[in-house]
Structure 1
Amino acid sequence: MEQFTKLVVELSKKIPDFNSRAVLFALIAGWVTGVVWYMIVGRIWKSVAHQGEGGAMTPRAQILSAIAQVIMTIMLAIAMQRLAENTVRGGLQTAFGAWFGFIAPSMVVSYSNLKARFRLTIIDCLHWLWVMLVMGAIIGALSDAPIPPKQ
């Protein structure tokens, strides 16, 4: 256990500083984007996914989704910091690259293995594209603010 703790401490030292305010605003905006997206396409999604009107997310699914989005937002901010892409344009480019290179292919493979309808894959992939673009733009827009130093 001691070796694991040392490893975590060493790895945490390698994480660059990032603007936590930008991450917070991007996280909230990404969540709102998802809510709006599924308000618009929710009926189509439910019919394609074969879910009735009562197909709400379970608390467990909501918690896991929230944790995943926090991780994604922080990692997007770190990637932008590492790539020195701290502008709106850089945020959009980094977000699109992450979506195109990692998120969309992973979803296509997972949904294919689950034998999900292709329309469902498209709806959910586009959801994450919009979320990533909104988060990238906000992180880029707010990255001019000074980054609080690590303590």
Structure 2
Amino acid sequence: MNYIAVFVAALAGFGVGAVWYGVFGKAWLDALGKSEDDIKGSGAAQALPFVTGLVADLVMAIMLAGLMGHLGNISIHGGLITGLFVWVGFVITTMGVNHAFSRASPKLTAIDGGHWLAVLLVMGAIIGAIGV
């Protein structure tokens, strides 16, 4: 496995999240039904979601690279298609069920789901470009 590709893809995925929620942060809070004060923590509690997100992006990049390696279509196009299929088959379906049972706003599902689609597409393109 090309750990440089995985590491770059994970960092890029984390960056996508920073940009995504920078743009959609207020709409996301509204869809969540919370204010900035509601989600603020202090010290380690404030850092924990970011650490969790970075670790999750790293695991996701490793799994995506492994899947792409098994499929054998190591290209930008192959990475985009694999990222899309993973999102449709696993991510948005799981989120849709969880959000439906928790009675979350469809707007929340769209914002969070769009984020993960963007992350998987960027990761897939990077891994496809650099190689596995």
Fold shared, TM-score > 0.5 on shorter chain: yes
Q: How far is 1:71 from its partner?
A: 1.1
For 2:4 and 2:101, how far apart are their aligned partners in 1?
38
CA distance in 2, matches of 1:56, 1:108: 26
Per-residue CA deviations over 1:24-64 (Å, capped at 9, x if unaligned) read: 11111111011101111111111111111232474333333
Instruction: Specify every segment of 5 or more residues in structure 2 that has no aligned partner in the other structure, as ranges.
Output: none
Shift of 1:134: 0.3
Quote the RMSD (CA, aligned, Å).
1.4
Match of 2:33 in 1: 50
Larger C-alpha radius of gyration, 1 or 2?
A: 1
Q: 50-59 vs 86-95, which deviates more?
A: 50-59
Larger mean Cα displacement after TM superposition, 32-41 or 45-54: 45-54
Higher mean C-alpha deviation, range 63-72 or range 125-134: 63-72
Shift of 1:95: 0.5
C-alpha contact (below 8 Å) 2:10/2:54 kept by paired residues: no
Instruction: Report SS of the residue matched to 1:85.
Output: coil
Q: TM-score, normalised by structure 1?
A: 0.79
SS in structure 2 of the partner of residue 32 of structure 1: helix
Q: Distance in 2 between matches of 1:112 and 1:63?
A: 27
Matched to 1:49, the amino acid is L
User: What secondary structure, in the 3-state scheme, does the structure 1 residue paired with 2:34 have?
Assistant: coil
In the superposition, relative to structure 1, how do residues 79 and 60 fare at CA in structure 2: closer, same or farther (>3 Å)? same
Residue segments in structure 1 that go unaligned for 5+ positions in a row: 1-17
